[in-house]
Homo-oligomer: A and B are copies of this chain.
Amino acid sequence: MPLPGEFALIARHFRPLAEDVPGALALADDAALLDAPPGRTLVLAADAMVAGVHFLPDDPPDTIGRKLLRVNLSDLAAMGAEPLGYLMTTALPQDMTPEWLDEFARGLKEDQRAYGCGLLGGDTVSTPGPLTLSLTVVGTVAPGRALTRAGAREGDAVWVSGTIGDGALGLLALTDRLPGVAQAHRDALADRYRLPRPRLALGRRLFGVATSCLDVSDGLVQDLGHLCRAAGLSADIDADAVPLSEAARASAASDPALLARCLTGGDDYELVFTASETTVGTLERLSAETNVPLARIGRMTSAGETEVRALRDGAALALGETGWSHVR
């Protein structure tokens, strides 16, 4: 079925995403109106995704919409913010179909309900190139209570949420580069690649506990490196303390080089943060209350350059590439 014109397309696929959002003006006007909750600071983030770069062209379209929204929500989580709404621009290739867009929008609608935010506005254009998506998320935080990447202190513990490496291994699984791993594990990893779990509930409880925080989007070593540089410190992490899923452990058992991939790959969308050693009890309680596993994986130190060292039995692992750069 051919794609309808711009206005019919917006009416069919995107207007339903704005129907419970009064300030979206049914996507009919030039801009959206938003009365921010009084006494809150706005938190704004934007991420772009390109087919073949940030997702696989044949990923299920509902997961592509949801991933687009979730990577942005993960940015809010890392600041301790709560979502309000989002704007989205889509550059659609020539072979786009209404059926694809139906599924894409269905995924977004599900996640809007799950995360409590609606479509405020955007733009739909055509492109001779690959599908290119951009989303700006709007959230809020109490004034002065945003988490940032700066603030780690010497001796702070380094923590991560959930498990690390599943997203990077999921991409390998989806591109037939995990031959020795059982199908059920490959499916679990693929799911993590396609559907990040933004840690919003955890993020908004970390103010006053975490001294610095970031979401792991470009690889644990690289993102923890950002916390190091912002603090002028180094981090020593215990490679064996980095939490791996059962599927990731099975993968690393089949090929030990995959452990390095877990530490340096991207697409985790877990939180990495630093916190005083005195907060262990608080963090254990937070973990139980939010139902998000937390693992203490290392310590901030003033030794050496501002860098991340992954240690096993006291020796530094050679990690090769240290993370994913979005530009060559």
A31 to B84, CA, bound (A): 14
Please tell me which stretch of A75-83, A252-260, A293-301 contacts chain B, meaning at least 4 of its Cβ atoms lie within 8 angstroms of it: A75-83
Cβ contact of A46, chosen from B122, B127, B325, cutoff 8 A: B122
Interface string of A300-328 (1 = CB under 8 A from B): 00000000000000000000000001111
Q: Is the CB of B125 within 8 A of A30?
A: no
Q: Which residue of B lies closest to A78 (CB)?
A: B30
Cβ of A58 within 8 Å of any chain B Cβ, yes or no, is no
Minimum Cβ distance to chain B for residue A195 (Å): 19
A92 to B132, CA, bound (A): 11
Task: Report if A31-B81 is in contact (Cβ < 8 Å); known contacts: A92-B327, A138-B44, A148-B25.
Answer: yes
Cβ contact of A327, chosen from B3, B88, B122, B137, cutoff 8 A: B3
Q: Is the CB of B30 within 8 A of A327?
A: no
A226 to B128, CA, bound (A): 28
Copies of this chain, count = 2
Q: How large is the interface on A (under 10, 10 to 19, 20 to 34, 35 or more residues)?
A: 35 or more
Minimum Cβ distance to chain B for residue A208 (Å): 17
Minimum Cβ distance to chain B for residue A291 (Å): 23
Q: Which residue of B lies closest to A222 (CB)?
A: B7
Cβ of A251 within 8 Å of any chain B Cβ, yes or no, is no
Task: Report if A46-B328 is in contact (Cβ < 8 Å); known contacts: A28-B149, A129-B130, A230-B28.
Answer: no
Across the A-B interface, give the 4 residue pairs with the lowest CB-CB distance, nearest first: A129-B129, A134-B134, A31-B45, A48-B89
